[in-house]
Amino acid sequence: MEIKELVEKIQSTWEQMKAKNDELIETVKKGGHLTQEDKAMLDKMGNRLDELELKLQRQNIVVPGSTVILDEKKLAVKKAFYGFLRKGKTDMDPTERKALVEDTTGEIVVPEDLEAGITRTLPKIAVMRNLSGNRTTIRDRVRRRSMSEVTMGWGKLETGNSAPESDPTPEDDGYMYVEDLYGLAKIGEDELQDNDINLESLITDSFSRARAETEDTAFAIGTGHTYKQPDGVAVDTDINQVNSDTADTVTPDDVLDLEYELPAQYLNGAAFLMHRKTEKVLRMVRTSGDGTHLTGQYLWQPSLLVGQPNSFDGYPIYNQGDMNYPADALAKNDIIFGNFKVGYRVLDRSGMSIQRLNELYAEDGLVGFRAHFRVGGGVIISDAFRALKNNT
């Protein structure tokens, strides 16, 4: 898409969004109400605007009227990086090669905006990263601090009421670790000669999808630092379990028991994490019936908005393909219910690096690129979750 066309589309989308927003404001002033369709339309326009602006930024173009000044040093680093991808370090011009940034192991550090583009894409693909709390760190490990509950009370100190005592001491002095995650992409020699924008898009798309799938598995069922993986929420031994009533089966009673076992302070923002086959079982449950003739409403409810999760008893359901499900007949956790933003944390350590494998795939007309990411994850408040265990 040409630069002029991009700018025109941004302006047109913005004007349409503003006009729609003004129309809805007038509707509300006259006593009307916003519908789900109105909200969805505004969200769609906003997402479209973000996509167009991102395309413009990728071309290092300043939006007309903007006061942003491009950093020449960053542009030089970015140009050198793409030169490295195409030719390799030894075949680069010495002046251009000086702009490359290397880490302590000699691998080339990926420019910040390219790394940010990959990280920004991950929540759109993965389940766990989107659900969980996220933190960026410069360390290889972070202390896992979980504070005890603080007590509070009503009254006035000047009339003799005493402040309730609380002792917010750490309950767990363990650590969360940032693990090493590697990915390998093979790119055709012809594709490497494409322009920087298309090459960046190819790199972002390839590594985003592969990384998202690998991360999601680890955040759900990862076996922990001993095995150089994040700690998976579904296998965390500190989370209280609720046993299913019947072996290898999930019933509505099981799920409702799970809901009411979760402390009330974590219900606002709580969600279900389960395999899609488990959701299928819940989808067919109704509020009444005699086993032959089912009547009443479904507890499972489809989402009214595109991109939003289905729900069970009012709480959203997120599918994760690595979760256990009842038909597996394994004594594992089938469902996790809880507040993931509060209880689970994803750690990102910035500094993605890449190594060019010049000769390994040369006979096939391909060049290999091994990327190195640093990421971790684990439960920080186990009481924010409850797990339904298959009673097999």
Q: 385 pairs with which residues across the strands?
A: 338
**What is the pairing mode between strands 300-301 and 294-298?**
unpaired
Cβ burial 101-133 (10 Å sphere, 16+ → b, else e): eeeeeebbbbbeebbebbbebbbebbbbbbbbe
- Whether the pLDDT of residue 55 is over 70: the answer is no
Residue 304's pLDDT band (boundaries 50, 70, 90)? low
Decide: residue 55, CB within 10 A, 0-12 exposed, 13-18 middle, 19+ buried: middle
What integer pLDDT is reported at residue 1 of this predicted model? Answer: 52
CA nearest neighbour of 57 among 124, 109, 117: 117
Is the overall model pTM greater than 0.85, yes or no? no
Query: Which pLDDT does position 4 carry in this prediction?
Result: 64
Q: What is the pLDDT of residue 160?
A: 63
297 pLDDT above the threshold of 70? no
Task: Give the residue ranges of DSSP H helices in the chain.
Answer: 3-29, 36-58, 72-87, 94-97, 112-125, 128-131, 189-192, 196-221, 252-261, 276-283, 340-343
* pLDDT per position as a tens digit, 99-153: 898 887 888 999 888 888 888 888 888 899 999 999 988 888 888 765 555 677 7
Mean pLDDT computed over every residue of the chain: 82
Instruction: Tell me how crowded residue 44 is: count the other CB atoms within 10 A of its CB.
Output: 13
**pLDDT band with cut points at 50, 70 and 90 for residue 62:** very low
Most confidently modeled of 53-62, 69-78, 148-157? 69-78
Q: Give the model's confidence band at 65: pLDDT under 50 very low, under 70 low, under 90 confident, else very high.
A: very low
Tokens of 22: 């003004």
Q: What is the pLDDT of residue 68?
A: 46
d(CA 380, CA 343): 5
Q: What is the pLDDT of residues 339-387, one digit of tens each?
A: 999 999 999 998 899 999 988 888 888 999 999 999 999 999 999 999 9
388 forms beta bridges with 242, 335
From residue 165, alpha-carbon distances to 151, 156, 161, 171, 293 in Å are 7, 15, 12, 17, 56
Q: How confident is the model at residue 220 (pLDDT cuts 50, 70, 90)?
A: very high
For 26, counting Cβ atoms within 10 Å of its Cβ (0-12 exposed, 13-18 middle, 19+ buried), the class is exposed
Q: How confident is residue 333, by pLDDT bands cut at 50, 70 and 90?
A: very high
> Shortest CA distance to 197 belongs to which of 97, 125, 117?
117
Mean pLDDT of 58-82: 64
Q: For 284-304, what is the mean pLDDT?
A: 62
Give the residue-averaged pLDDT of 322-340.
Answer: 90
Mean pLDDT, to the nearest integer, of 161-174? Answer: 58
Cα→Cα distances 41→18, 128, 303, 316, Å = 12, 26, 16, 22
Q: How confident is the model at residue 44 (pLDDT cuts 50, 70, 90)?
A: confident
Instruction: Write the pLDDT tens digit of every residue in 103-116.
Output: 878 889 998 888 88
Between 103 and 2, residue with greater pLDDT: 103
303 within 8 A of 314, measured Cβ to Cβ: no
* Residue 292 predicted with pLDDT over 70: no
Is residue 168 scored above 60 in pLDDT?
A: no
CA dist 205 → 115, 117, 125 (Å): 12, 9, 11
Q: Of 328, 323, 325, 331, nearest to 391 (Cα)?
A: 331
Q: What pLDDT was estimated at residue 330?
A: 83
Distances (CA, A) of 14 to 17, 36, 39: 5, 21, 16
